[in-house]
Chains A and B, each alone.
Chain A
Amino acid sequence: MLSVLAQAAESTPDITPGLTAIGRGIVYGGAAIGPGIGIGLVVGNAITAMSRQPESAGMVRTTMFLGIAFTEALALFGFVLAFIISG
């Protein structure tokens, strides 16, 4: 009985690459949640502002891109981190 268990333990395949892949998925998936909501808020409010005051659309658009850029940076940190993780 014990010898069978020991044999099974010896022949266990290396699961590190699989765990690394799962870790990468979790890191990027987790990092994308917040910025996803954030960018939605930014763009949604920018569209509301533009449709209420079409004459200020140019200014709103510039500010919207700034807001998107700041929010998106967090997701991109997660993206880069997912590639830095190595098994």
Chain B
Amino acid sequence: MLPTLALEFPPISHAVEWPIIFGGEWLGVNKVVLLMWLSVIVVFTFFFIASRRQQLVPAGVQNVAESTVDFIRNGIILQTMGEEGLFYTPFLLMLFSFIFVCNIWEVIPIAQMPVNARIALPMFMALLVYVMYHVVGIRGQGLGGYLKSSLIPPGVPKAILPLLMFIELITLLITRPLSLCVRLFANMFAGHLLLITFAIISSTLFAVQWQIVILPFSGFLLIALTGFEVLVAFLQAFIFTILAAVYIGSSMHPEH
């Protein structure tokens, strides 16, 4: 019998809580905050370098930046908001790039911690989108018009209208921001736990007898899951951005 069967998994709090490096108890800066700042710098530097010396035929960094903008513009905005939504291109582009860079720290060696695995950042971004689509809706259609167009679905029998209005109100005020926040957080948290689990299994097996690590359910699965997490990091950034675009778009023009 292998001694690895008595494998110890650390408590969940050890996986995502980091000691404070400097600062007090309330404004303490730990590894997650440092990574968040680093992501801001990375995104800013990337777009700054890309736009500094623009050429007609893009090359290098400018090429990557232009295809990102093209992806946001043609893949997200024109599909969900139409021509009028192009005003929101900078906002959605920043949202996408920032979330993606925050997520990708999950698989980068030494960092190994997705910033969005703590709920603070997803919650703040969900609140930003929440305030934004209400403001866009109220400014565009007026308070009454906005409530009417978002609470009363067209072509519904009068009898079930009160029930539907109640459901739509709950959706508009609670479910949308909550699910936007929890989706990003829970996906990154689950991915982080998954990688931790397989890393612990692999390292324990390696310590016992190094040849075992090539068994399919330890080392290979860890490598495969790392690749899968890159996909998840991209997909969650994409889904957050496209949902923000759908919410803002739906409060821009009333449903037909």
Contacts and interface: CB of A to CB of B under 8 A. Distances in A.
B141 interface: no
Interface residues of B, number: 18
B229 to A, nearest CB: 16
Interface in A40-87: 58-59, 62, 65-66, 69-70, 72-73, 76-77, 79-80, 83
A73 B80 contact: no
B182 A73 contact: yes
Given A59-B79, A73-B179, A66 B242 contact: yes
Given A73-B179, A83-B12, A62 B242 contact: yes
Contact of A62 (B75, B179, B183): B75
Interface residues of A, number: 14
B78 to A, nearest CB: 10
B105 interface: no
A70 B175 CA distance: 11
B231 interface: no
A77 B182 contact: yes
Contact of A72 (B80, B183, B242): B183
Interface in B156-197: 179, 182-183, 185-187, 190
B200 interface: no
A76 B187 contact: yes
B239 interface: yes
A58 B183 CA distance: 24
A79 B242 contact: no
Nearest to B243: A69
B246 interface: yes
A36 B223 CA distance: 25
A77 B190 CA distance: 12
B183 A73 contact: yes
Given A65-B238, A66-B243, A79 B179 contact: no
Given A58-B79, A66-B239, A77-B179, 6 more contacts: A62-B75, A66-B243, A69-B239, A69-B243, A80-B185, A80-B186
- 10 nearest interchain CB pairs? A76-B186, A73-B179, A69-B239, A62-B79, A79-B186, A80-B186, A73-B183, A76-B182, A76-B183, A80-B182
